[in-house]
Structure 1
Amino acid sequence: MRKILVFLHRYLGLAVGLFLIGSGLSGSAIVFSKAIDSYLNPELLTISRPLNAALQVDALLRNAKAVLPAETPAFVYMPLAPAESAQVVFQPSGLRAHADPYSGQILGVRHPNDSVTGLLIDFHVHLLAGKTGKQIQGWVGLSAILLTLVGIFLWWPKGGKWKQAFSIKWRAGAFRVWFDAHRVSGAVAAVLILLTALTGSALALYDLITEPLLIATTGSGTRQPAPKAPSTSVEQASIDRMLREAQSMFPDGKITRLTLPVKDSSAVGVRMRLNGEMHQFGRSFVWFSRYDGSVLRVDNALEANRAVKIQSWLFPLHTGVYGGTVTQWLQVLVGLSLALLSFSGAWLWMKKARAKAIANTRRARTGETVAG
């Protein structure tokens, strides 16, 4: 059994090693992507908010549509801090108009992949290959779970020799040092690697595995279609008024995003993070009719079914925001550990394969000499 597990651990690791190195390094790099992007592009992502300024989302949307008249605005990412700009996401191009949400002024337009952090996020989530890349990442994540479980089994000390299990023989040769580093780093980071790989796979393979599994285990799912907005002859209602009403319904809530109507029957969704929600953007929604501004439905995540509550934990756990800056730095270390484990495993295999090839060559030459 041990030989089988060693074989599985070695060759499964080699098969997905490059993916794990890429995921680990890119994941570490994007933990603080927002802060990095703001530092590199302050003209797009930071503003000077006037005191007691009110949101001007209607003006913002008018100005954004004037800049990109052939595109359809689908979402607005609201500022989460006073000095942040808002972002209007357009379909089908994915372009984003960055704007001052208090004056409505457009600061600039770019595609997320035009930035270093946006490119890294796309690589980490989609491998720059859309839905196909996202599914590949999901299966790679499941492979990482299997690799970690098998690795822990192989590492587990016999006879309670825990000190030896966590030691590295620094004075030994390079092969032994790398071998010990591979074992110890894997053991130390195992729990967080499992958590990161599990949540990452659950997000990447959500429709294929996670949602059906939630339905099977809780009896309910998380997918609830947005309500329809009956078409009327009334002029479209003010988004700013909807935001004020949503805020009055949940005074302690934080408005994080808007879902804009892309069809005549679509509603306006105001997404909020209520006190007590774990998800950094919240999973609560107030849906409004786009025509008369009436409330169509309220989705309070704190009162949602168990499946929604479980789903709300996946993204925060994967990104490390659940414990603040400390757990975010831990996520950086987890990504680096995953890359180190994959690289060291491949290096050990190559060194061992090379040594075996040299030994076979020597035996062959010795045999030829004796026969001669």
Structure 2
Amino acid sequence: MTGVRRLGRAHVVALHRYVGLLMAAFLVVAAATGSVLAFRDELDEWLAPELFVARSAASAPLLDPFVLRARVAQQVAPQGRVDALVLDLRPGRTARFPVAPNPDGAGGFHRLDYDEVFVDPHTGAIQGGRAREAIAFTAQQAVPLLYKVHHSLALPGIWGTLLLGVISLLWTLDCFVGAWLTFPKGQPFLTKWKPAWWVKWRAGAHRATLDLHRAGGLWLWAVLLLFAWSSVMFNLREPVFRPVMGVVFPFDDSWRTVPMRPKPVVAPRLDWPAAHAAARLAMQDMAAEVGFAVDREDRLQLDRRRGVYAYLVHSTVDLRSDAGNTAVLIDADTGAPMGRWLPTGGPTGNTVSNWMGALHMAQVFGRPYQVFVFVLGIAVVVITVTGVMVWQKKRRARILSRARRA
């Protein structure tokens, strides 16, 4: 029986070792970039203040949101179009508008070197633009590029996203394998398990490295599991995360399940003022049903492929303080409600998922939690590197042992 247990443990050790080696380089890249991205907004503005600070004085009057959108649309036409209405205008701060290419009349689309513009809300003048998916080593592109590397290794298409999704899934499973390997073989359990939580600094470099790898993983186990599984949510939501979580929690999928139309909507029956009014009514009905209050409006966006307007507000059920994520979808032709998105207060599955996403991206609990996520990224790098160092040390010992026997 003891031999069987040893054999089983040996297989688990091998699994942990080789899965860890497979993940090592990817985890180092993801953890290092994620550590910096904890301060994503602050870093972006520091590197490219011309995109975020309006040229007009903060005391100048703000334009009406409909007038502002119209002015931006005129400036990007005819090659581009603006399918968003920014409602949360702030004095002295630019408004960010997504820009999509228009058809070129020859069966294709115009080529734009940007997909978002930053606009002075006091005058409507475009201060700058950038392509979020572009790979360029400039101050304005630094943070989008860093995010692209973190999310998909900056690989083309969906391959980087899928690759990191698989790595995240392996990381999730390895969290349980690594924790099991720290369990003691004998009794009493807690007494024998206690040394695994501490680092014996005076026991030599190799032992300290092993202890640091093991103890670091134990102390941060719950947080590491959270970040690993939330990474699966971001990269493998439909094939893995949603089916697994759906076994335990109920979900409202109305936000994601509105079907594509046969052809994109070119001229919806509801123009921007009419869509805004209809969306407000739909939001009021949802607020009364769920029991929340709207603090401020955020934006209204047109999804031409699905033929819906998305209306986002900041409400008392939001997790983030800087942006609104409470949302409704309305039909672009009739104004009928088509879907909803509740950060909290809705089905448990949605609430749990939204909390996981907000914790992963350091969007809650203010600056102290941002610092924690920054330090956590460094800790993941240390745990990963020490694991590789332990493997190298044992590999050398095995090679030397075989050489001596030979």
CA-CA distance at 1:44 after TM superposition = 0.5
Equivalent position amino acid for 2:127 in 1: L
Asked whether 1:122 is paired with 2:148, we answer yes
Compute the displacement of 1:175 (Å): 1.5
Classify 1:163/1:234 alpha carbon distance in 2 versus 1 (closer, same or farther; 3 Å): closer
Equivalent residue letter for 2:79:
A
SS of the residue corresponding to residue 225 of structure 1 reads coil
Which residue identity does 2:199 align to in structure 1? I
How far apart in 2 are the matches of 1:91 and 1:45? 20
Query: Mapping of 1:38-117 within 5 angstroms?
Result: 38-47=45-54, 48-50=57-59, 53=62, 55-67=64-76, 69-75=78-84, 83-91=92-100, 95-112=115-132, 113=134, 114=136, 115-117=141-143
Deviation (angstroms), 1:16? 1.3
Query: Which amino acid is 1:59 matched to?
Result: L
Partner of 1:370: none
The yes-or-no answer on 1:225 pairing with 2:258 is: yes
Indicate conservation of the 8 Å contact 2:72/2:124, yes or no: yes
AA aligned opposite 1:354: R
**1:57/1:350 CA distance change after superposition, 3 Å:** farther
Task: Please give the alpha-carbon distance, in whole angstroms, between the structure 2 residues aligned to 1:121 and 1:205.
Answer: 17
From 369, 384, 387, the counterpart of 1:342: 384
Q: Summarize the Cα distance change of 1:110–1:318 in structure 2 as closer, same or farther, 3 Å threshold.
A: same
Q: Find the aligned partners of 1:58 and 1:89 in 2 and give their Cα distance.
A: 16
Runs of 4+ off more than 6 Å: 226-235
Structure 1 residues 132 and 232 mapped into 2: Cα distance closer, same or farther (>3 Å)? closer
Greater helix proportion: 1
User: 2:400, 2:97 → 1: CA distance?
Assistant: 61
Partner SS, residue 203 of structure 2: coil
The answer to whether 1:33 aligns with 2:53 is no
Question: Cα distance, 1:35 vs. partner?
Answer: 0.5
- AA partner of residue 14 (structure 2): F
Matched, 1:296 2:336: yes
Q: Which moved more, 1:22-31 or 1:326-335?
A: 326-335
Tell me, yes or no, if the aligned pair for 2:275 and 2:332 is still in contact at 8 Å: no
Residues 234 and 151 of structure 1, relative CA distance in 2, 3 Å threshold: closer
Change (3 A) 1:238 1:104: farther
- After alignment, is 325-334 or 15-24 more displaced? 325-334
Partner of 1:153: 180
Task: Say which SS state the counterpart of residue 320 (structure 1) adopts.
Answer: coil
Cα 1:80/1:193, change in 2 over 3 Å: farther
Q: Deviations over 1:200-249 (max 9, x none)?
A: 11221112123334555456541342899999897934489659957995
Q: How many residues align?
A: 361
Deviations 1:111-149 (A, max 9, x none): 224421111111111221232211221221111122221
Mapping for residues 160-239 of structure 1, pairs under 5 Å:
160-161=191-192, 164-218=195-249, 220-222=251-253, 223-225=256-258, 236-238=271-273
Partner Cα separation in structure 1 for residue 268 and residue 376 of structure 2: 55
Of 9, 30, 35, the residue aligned with 1:23 is 30
Rounded to whole Å, the distance in 2 between the matches of 1:175 and 1:80 is 57
- TM-score, with structure 2 as normaliser: 0.76
Matched residue SS, 1:171: helix
Q: Bigger relative contact order, structure 1 or 2, given CA contacts below 8 A and separation 6+? A: 1
How many Å apart are 1:267 and its aligned residue?
A: 3.5
Quote the Cα distance in structure 2 between the aligned partners of 1:331 and 1:345: 21
- Residue 316 of structure 1 deviates from its aligned partner by 0.7
Q: In structure 2, give the amino acid aligned to 1:49.
A: A
Residue in 2 that maps onto 1:273: 314
Letter in 1 for 2:120: D
Segment of structure 1 superposing worse, 86-95 or 247-256: 247-256
Work out the CA distance in 1 between the residues paired with 2:167 and 2:90.
35
Q: Once structures 1 and 2 are overlaid, which stretch shifts more, 68-77 or 121-130?
A: 68-77
Q: Equivalent pairs: percent with the same residue?
A: 24
Report deviation, 1:107.
0.7
Q: 1:82 to 1:243 in 2, by over 3 A?
A: farther
Q: Aligned AA for 1:276?
A: V
Query: 1:140 maps to what in 2?
Result: 167
Alignment deviations for residues 149-177 of structure 1 (CA, whole Å, 9 cap, x no partner): 12112223564146532332223332222
Q: Cα gap change, 1:220/1:241 in structure 2, threshold over 3 Å: closer, same or farther?
A: closer
Where do 5+ consecutive residues of structure 1 fail to align? Answer: 365-372
